[in-house]
Amino acid sequence: MTLSPIHRVLSTFRRRKVRALLMGGQACILYGAAEFTRDIDLAVAVSPANLKRLQAALHDLDAESIYFPPLSAAVLRRGHACHFRSRLPALHRLRIDVMARMRGVDSFARLWNRRVEIPVPGVGQLAVMGLPDLVQAKKTQRDKDWPMIRRLIESDIATRGGKGDSARVEFWLKECRTFEVLRELARREPALARRVAFRRPALRAVMSGNASRATAFLRKEEDAERARDRRYWAPLRRELERWRLGRKG
């Protein structure tokens, strides 16, 4: 069996026993929210043993470091991403991005405890970031992430037939970004919807039937998250620039 470039990378990480969680676009695909991407994004545990396994996997893939900064425990703990590209001809210069810390997202240990194991042909049981955590990680300043959040939630609702335990429905009510879908959820679960709406003005507007007001609140939610993301990355970008200047000196 000839593995696709993405499956080969993931199987290499699994064979090397790297403690990593698939996130980003490839995780979105597995959750049914299709996204075309040739990158692989992974959250990794920062420990000497795991970083050694990570480096072994990258060596197997002939993956060179690209951009800045170079891989280290200190860099990952600060919240920076480390970027690699495979030089193996069969992998077509596939890019691999690793992180350990993300804005608004729990520690890796907690993410790992909430992971979802998904069987992938040619790879085996693949550890994937849980859907609520993936949605939180997608709340960035990037334009492409917000439509993806909407698709992730709606795909999950459709896959489950709009039914779930109270924790799952509460998650949908907190994160869904479509007026019609929110209205139907609130109709089915009025008591839970009222509880969530206490802290979510967009949902209150949905329940009152005011679509334009709900849309305005949804946009306000997005704008606030984008602003938080810009504030989070500003000092990290300044730190990168200082590191670059220091290296040049």
| CATH classification at residue 101 | 3.30.460.40
Cα–Cα distance for residue pair 157/150, rounded to 1 Å: 11
Phi and psi angles of residue 22, each rounded to the nearest 5 degrees, phi first: -70, 135
Q: Does residue 121 surpass a pLDDT of 90?
A: no
Same domain, 131 and 155: no
Is position 56 within any domain?
yes
Same domain, 128 and 83: yes
pTM, to two decimals: 0.93
Query: Per-residue confidence at 157, pLDDT binned at 50, 70, 90?
Result: very high
Among candidate residues 144, 217, 136, 234, the one with its CA nearest the CA of residue 179: 217
Please say whether the beta carbons of 105 and 228 come within 8 A.
no
Same domain, 41 and 128: yes
Query: Per-residue confidence at 1, pLDDT binned at 50, 70, 90?
Result: very low
The pLDDT score that the predictor gives to residue 34 is 72
Please say whether the beta carbons of 96 and 9 come within 8 A.
yes
Sequential DSSP letters for the chain: -PPPHHHHHHHHHHHTT--EEEEHHHHHHHTT------EEEEEE--SHHHHHHHHHHHHHTTEEEESSSPP-HHHHHHT--EEEEE--GGGTT-EEEEES--TT---HHHHHHT-EEEEETTTEEEEE--HHHHHHHT-SS-TTHHHHHHHHHHHHHHHTTT---HHHHHHHHHH---HHHHHHHHHH-HHHHHHHHTT-HHHHHHHTT-HHHHHHHHHHHHHHHHHHHHHHHHHHHHHHHHHHHHHH-
CA atoms within 13 A on the CB side of 139: 23
Query: Per-residue confidence at 79, pLDDT binned at 50, 70, 90?
Result: very high
Considering 87, 107, 135, which residue would you say is the last residue of a domain? 135
Q: Does residue 35 surpass a pLDDT of 90?
A: no
Same domain, 46 and 66: yes
Condensed to tens digits (0 to 9), the pLDDT of residues 123-151 reads: 999 999 999 999 999 999 999 999 999 99
Q: What residue numbers bound the domain in which 97 lies? A: 5-135
Considering 85, 117, 135, which residue would you say is the last residue of a domain? 135
Please say whether the beta carbons of 40 and 98 come within 8 A.
no
Q: Does residue 17 surpass a pLDDT of 70?
A: yes
Please say whether the beta carbons of 30 and 155 come within 8 A.
no
Please say whether the beta carbons of 173 and 185 come within 8 A.
yes
Is pLDDT larger for residue 19 or for residue 2?
19
The pLDDT score that the predictor gives to residue 68 is 81
Sequence-ordered list of residues with C-beta below 8 angstroms from that of 71, at least 6 positions apart, any chain: 51, 54, 55, 65, 82, 98
Mean pLDDT value of segment 47-69: 95
**Which residues on adjacent β-strands are paired with residue 127?**
117
Same domain, 120 and 159: no
> For residue 122, is it left (φ>0), alpha (ψ between -120 and 50) or beta?
left
Domain count, the chain: 2
Mean pLDDT value of segment 166-190: 97
Residue 215, Cα to own-chain centre: how many angstroms? 24
Q: Does residue 248 surpass a pLDDT of 70?
A: no
Q: Does residue 249 surpass a pLDDT of 60?
A: no
Same domain, 86 and 45: yes
Among candidate residues 41, 44, 55, 35, the one with its CA nearest the CA of residue 77: 44
Q: Does residue 38 surpass a pLDDT of 80?
A: no
Question: Across the chain, what does the average pLDDT equal?
Answer: 93
Is position 199 within any domain?
yes
Same domain, 178 and 209: yes
